[in-house]
Amino acid sequence: MTLPLADALKGRLIVSCQAPPGDPMRHTDTLVRMTLAARAGGAAAVRVNDPEVVAATVAAAGLPVIGLWKDGDSGVFITPTVRHALALVDAGAAVVAADATARPRPDGSTFAELVAAVHAAGALVMADVSTLAEGREAAAQGADFVGTTLSGYVPGSPVQTAPDLALVTDLAGAISVPVIAEGRIATPGQAAGALAAGAHSVVVGTAITAPTALTATFVAGLAR
């Protein structure tokens, strides 16, 4: 049996509406406007950072919200503790996204404990992983979705410029929970390629919602 939310996301686009610290777009109302634009463009769900933005998006967007809480910038910092996860559920996230790499969590908890707490509070969990082994482990620990989010961003996962479609294929062949392709998907063709590789859904962030980073790529192009 699949989850109703998983059915609603099948073959669909999820837009990540985030802005890094210090970015002019890091402003709750602005980020909520981006989620409304994503909905208007046909996104099935949005992925947003911080409980305040989650709550404002839930109130405004009428779309399923995948919530994360980035706290810090090293080690495990995407929804690092059970406290962070439950704050996102309180804010209305339908799905809590959390780092599920094999690294110690700052509160000493396990990923399985985070999953249990989120499930008990009535929400689902998306495991952000960087390898096939982490994805298998996250699925075994009860994750409802497994995303390739952290491929290329953690020690032991080589830096890449393209989406990690090989990991999408490997995960889709190895686990029974839906695999979400996320990370460096920059064109509609790459998004379609991720589905063809076995992804259940595709998350796109920077290519849609990051004007500062996108402007910088054009500026760099002109400077060549």
Ligand X SMILES: CC(=O)N[C@H](C=O)[C@@H](O)[C@H](O)[C@H](O)COP(=O)(O)O
List, in order, residues 6 or more apart from 39 with CB less than 8 Å away.
46, 61, 62, 63
Least distance in angstroms from the C-beta of 163 to ligand X: 8
Alpha carbon separation from 158 to 28, 135, 165 (Å, rounded): 33, 16, 14
CA 201 to chain centre: 11
H/E run at residue 94? none
Nearer to ligand X, 21 or 221 (CB): 21
- Is 147:194 a contact under the CB 8 Å cutoff? no
Q: Which of residues 166-205 bind ligand X (CB under 6 A)?
A: 182-185, 203-205
Beta bridge partners of 65: 46
Nearer to ligand X, 17 or 56 (CB): 17
* Among positions 5, 9, 13, 18, the unique one binding ligand X when judged by CB under 6 A: 18
Is there binding between residue 46 and ligand X (CB under 6 A)? no
Q: Which of residues 58-97 bind ligand X (CB under 6 A)?
A: 68
Interatomic CA distance for residues 221 and 85, integer angstroms: 40
Least distance in angstroms from the C-beta of 29 to ligand X: 20
Binding site for ligand X (CB under 6 A): 16, 18, 68, 149-150, 153, 182-185, 203-207
